Amino acid sequence: MAKFEISAAERAELGRVAVIYGGNSAERPVSLKSGAQVLLGLQQAGVDAFGIDLYGEDGQQCPLTQLQAEPFDRAFLILHGRGGEDGVIQGLLEMLEINYTGSGVAASALAMDKLRSKQLFMGAGIPTPEFVHLDQSKDPVLQTEHLGYPQMVKPAHEGSSIGMARVNSPAELQKAVASATEFDGMVLVEKWMTGSEFTVAVLDGRALPVIKLETPHDFYDYDAKYESDDTSYMFEHELTEDQVAELQTLAERTFEALGCEGWARIDIMRDEAGEFRVLEANTAPGMTDHSLVPMAARQQGISFEQLVVEVLRASS
């Protein structure tokens, strides 16, 4: 693939770009890796870019002070998790009147909140697995018994599969809920889905090629996403052309229903009956060497440098 570089005119138009990464969420390590890749990609494409490690290595720096320390014209947000993917930093940048990549305050907050996003999916006619929002004052076993086993336990406001667990019994459920509660006071329990898992990146409202995920783990967990080399990412899969189109349309509908902008990644399961069900949307997807959006872009003939510039061009 030929080297991609923007013109001098576009470099001037984009101005000084701050790649904002790091943060203080549980996903900080992933964001540091993503940020380093994005910064390098932008610089190699000729963009005048520099990095801001939000909160810093010691976690003590003031984000507002950091954002005002050096002037910049727009921000490439590659923060993962709370404080970066949930509308908080987006709101701060809007107050500072600085353009940024990705979704706005409302869509970011909705997508990060698994409960509200699933409620929105149901209202918009977007299929999603059956679930229970746990009442922490009541027994989780009694609340979820109609789901049967296995079940999937999820903190409502974490990404990268942090705090998630598959459970096969009431005892495992109790333990997993206690663990998830350490990350988030709001916990969801989903009906377990046996079937294929797919992910669809959406760039400027258009779906990129579908990726099928296969892992020997119980599910596509943190280790499978970022550390393991035994996860398979496949563009050759059992889906027909019509099913691929259906899956891509579902991803685009999800993107639109949430009000997403710029880019996102939609995770979808195909159940035993062959029906697609949306798990969640990620409005600041990972950009590490294990990440899915760059893989889908390459399959479409889009280099990493082209991808990060395309995301940046959509900043508003």
Q: How far is CA 69 from the centre of its chain?
A: 28
Backbone angles phi, psi at 198, to 5 degrees: -130, 160
Three-class secondary structure of residue 90 per DSSP: helix
Token match 């027994």: residue?
139
Catalytic positions: 27, 160, 226, 265, 267, 280, 282, 286
270 with 279: CB under 8 angstroms? no
Distance, in Å, from the CA atom of 51 to the CA atom of 128, rounded to the nearest integer, reads 37
Determine contact, residues 224/251, Cβ cutoff 8 Å: no
3-state secondary structure at position 281: strand
Cα(182)–Cα(178) distance, rounded to whole angstroms?
7
Strand boundaries in the chain, DSSP class E: 17-22, 49-54, 74-77, 99-100, 131-133, 151-155, 165-167, 187-191, 196-203, 206-207, 211-214, 232-234, 263-270, 276-282
Give the amino acid at 14: L
Give the whole-angstrom CA distance, residue 128 versus residue 283: 18
- Please tell me whether residue 262 adopts helix, strand or coil conformation: coil
What pairs with residue 298 in β-bridges? none
- Helices (H) then strands (E): counts for the chain: 12, 14
